[in-house]
A and B are shown apart, each in its own frame.
Chain A
Amino acid sequence: MPTESRDTALHKENWREVPLQKTTRRAPDSGKGGSGKGDLRPVPFRGGGFTYTPRGLISPLVFIALIGLWELGSQTGFISPIALPAPSAAFGAFVDLVRTGTLWRHLEASLFRLIVGWTLGTAIGVAVGLAIALFSVMRAGLSPVVSALFPIPKIALLPLFIVWFGIGEGSKVATILFGAFFPTVIATYGGVDNVDRNLIRMGQSFGLSWLSIVRKIIIPGAMPAILSGFRISASIAIVLLVAAEMIGAQFGIGAYILMAGSLFAIEQLIAGVAMLSILGLTISWLIGRAERYFLTWRT
């Protein structure tokens, strides 16, 4: 296009006509007659404040400070040992547990219920969630049922589960299983619904089989949602574990806490609660590792 090329040539000439030195000399003395460098000041910075910077040391410091203050309060008598035992007393109770070997029996019982219940619940949950997402009949039939049953506190059904699955492990595992099942179903089919339709269309356009599209496009695409569903279902599972153990168990962290409470052995109660907290942190760390493993492609 000849017109265009002439235009650009003109622009170039204009550009060259402006002498570089003149502009640099003229720029500073603008404004109300203020002369020279006296008026020069940097543009005020306004961009800070809302960015997040990692501060690795702060979180352990907060823990140490809180526990330190608590210990100090107990030692000086500011905190009555009846209201709240000292952290050292709780730690003593924990050491007792380790020494007598009962810690392992409680921990073993709890971990067994948690692992079996949560694993089965999430496995069935992912399967049902996929079925709801992929088959219209399943969606129409099951998604209202899931919505109706999800809000029921599963612990309210424990007596029923005891009748169905027996007073032993069955009813406790079932409570955790159902508790983990529903959030997983909802996370899974929500995740599948959010998979980019264009990617599925791409798979179809290359003639990929239905199974290949599900395996290679839909499930990886839903994985972030499924994993964040795991975080929620794992916390729910711990809550239900303790609740179920409080109702009928000889061993388990929940049973230990209940027993400590009824004997008013508050330092044991605190030790039990601290164990739950550590359990939760461990699970959250494990899921974090899983996320890093499965979602390396994200960041």
Chain B
Amino acid sequence: MMLIPCPHCGPRNETEFAYGGQAHVSHPEDPHALDDAAWARYLFYRENPKGLFAERWVHSAGCRRWFNAVRNTVTYEVQSVEPIGPRPPGGRPAESTTSEGGHA
């Protein structure tokens, strides 16, 4: 059972959350411009790292908000959480909070 730090509600049990897979996968701007291989990459290929992984979670039994988390897929430790949204080129969104971030 993981303790996941919801950016809005603070640390809550994993059972309150649902998983959304890899974060920052944007819909292609012009799908018709893609060939089959590129479309397959968008549709079926996801990162599967052993280590840190940027992924989406939704606090479905809490505030019902989606957010992004960076989690270690070996230790299951959540390193940081950040608001939902596309990752700007070259790095993290400026606004990000650590797992220590605000719980009542």
Specify whether A and B are partners: no
Task: Spell out A's residues near B (CB within 8 Å).
Answer: none
